[in-house]
Amino acid sequence: MEKRYYQNQMNKRGAIDISFNWIFVLIAGAAILTFFIAVIATQKDKAETEMAITIKTELQSIFSGASLSQNRELDIDIPSSNLEFTCDFATCTDFSTSTNPSCYSEFVIGKTGINTQLPAEIIFSPNHISGKKILTWTKPWHIPFFVTNFLFISGADSHYLFIDSGHDSTLTFFNEFPEKMNKDMISLESLETYNPKGSSTIKFIFVNFNPEEIIMPEQILSATNPEKINAINILPETKQINFYYLSENSFTLSDTITFMTESEIYAAMFSDEVDSYKCNMQKAVNRFHISSEVLNARAGQLYAYPSLTNCQIFYADYANGLRTIIENTFVYSNQAINNLAVAVPTLESANLAAQERSCPLIY
């Protein structure tokens, strides 16, 4: 009897030992697995960070080089990545408050946190670009003299859809838009059957047509996140551009801007929202202000030159428009653009008249 009892106790103890052994194996196995998962995750994060730093360096060089060339298109292959562009108009400073004005502006590479500040660089782009290809295009901003280049950036999955509503300018804008960009032109009637496959962001471009009248077809709504679908309506006759965002299945007016040149129209095409457009335009007028101050100083010297008394009227800032230009290149606004639209032709006329009278040119 005692022997059987002792044997039963030993069997129980053996069963407990086996259970503890399995528990120990499971704990040890989990610890080892956790360790290797942590190592892999660390190595993955390290590799992603190193790649992001490489991409950052390459893009900085590409953007700097591209912005120096006029009317240049580039097709650039990069490692697959997600880029987020930000430009906050509310943070912008100007020459009325700072000797070195800037805006809070940057691009961030994925979720790595690797970023590059762009306080003065003028870059119009979608907020989000993903994939293995970057497309760039530059256009000069002449008003009336060369001020700076606008750098436009897009991705292969960013879609630009020109809607032909019968205005002649639609075809003109479409033809000038870079061929390598993902662009299409369709009629209003074709919108119901159109399917923008592989699109991350979709930009609708209308000319003299109110997009609020359109109900967005389901195949377009399902192509991407609705927040990445937006539109502009260009009004050439009044020199205005309306910005729209998608609300449920239709467009809603966000804001209206006034433009002077064709370059500003294309800048609106590449901007997902009006705030980022205004932010980059503030950087542009900051440069316009510097250029105008330099020209005004030159005109002042010419005005004071004794042998040029017959040319003085061309160099007086109250007569040639430079005073108005300087006063309206502090803060970017529709009113400032309207004032510049009057002053710029005045400067052009003064410069042309100086040329006709064989006087030194203002610019």
Phi, psi of 51 (to 5 degrees): -65, -40
Question: What is the average pLDDT score of the chain?
Answer: 89
Q: Is pLDDT at 59 greater than 80 in this prediction?
A: yes
- What is the model's pTM? 0.85
Q: Is pLDDT at 31 greater than 70 in this prediction?
A: no
Average pLDDT over residues 127-132: 92
Residues 6+ apart with CB under 8 A from 220: 191, 194, 195, 196, 202, 229
Query: How do residues 281-336 score in pLDDT, each as one tens digit?
Result: 999 999 999 999 999 999 999 999 999 999 999 999 999 999 999 999 999 999 99
Average pLDDT over residues 119-126: 96
pLDDT at 78: 87
Radius of gyration of the chain (CA): 30
pLDDT at 3: 52
pLDDT at 217: 93
3-state secondary structure string across the chain: CHHHHHHHHHHHHHHHHHHHHHHHHHHHHHHHHHHHHHHHHHHHHHHHHHHHHHHHHHHHHHHHHHCCCCCCEEEEEEEEEEEEEEEEHHHCCCCCCCCCCCCEEEEEECCCCEEEECCCCCEECCCEEEEEEEEEEEEEEECCCEEEEEEEEEECCEEEEEEECCCHHHHHHHHHCCCCCEEEEEECHHHHHCCCCCCCEEEEEEECCCHHHCCCCHHHHCCCCHHHEEEEEEECCCCEEEEEEEECCEEEEEEEEECCCHHHHHHHHHCCCHHHHHHHHHHHHHHHHHHHHHHHHHHHHHHCCHHHHHHHHHHCHHHHCHHHHHHCCCCCCHHHHHHHHHHHHHHHHHHHHHHHCCCCCCC
Q: Which residue has the higher pLDDT, 29 or 251?
A: 251
Q: Is pLDDT at 232 greater than 60 in this prediction?
A: yes
Q: Which residue has the higher pLDDT, 258 or 50?
A: 258
pLDDT at 104: 97
Q: Given its phi and psi angles, is residue 223 left (phi above 0), alpha (psi -120 to 50 degrees) or beta?
A: alpha
Extract the tokens encoding 158.
């960013």
C-alpha dist (Å) from residue 38 to 50, 52, 181: 18, 21, 41
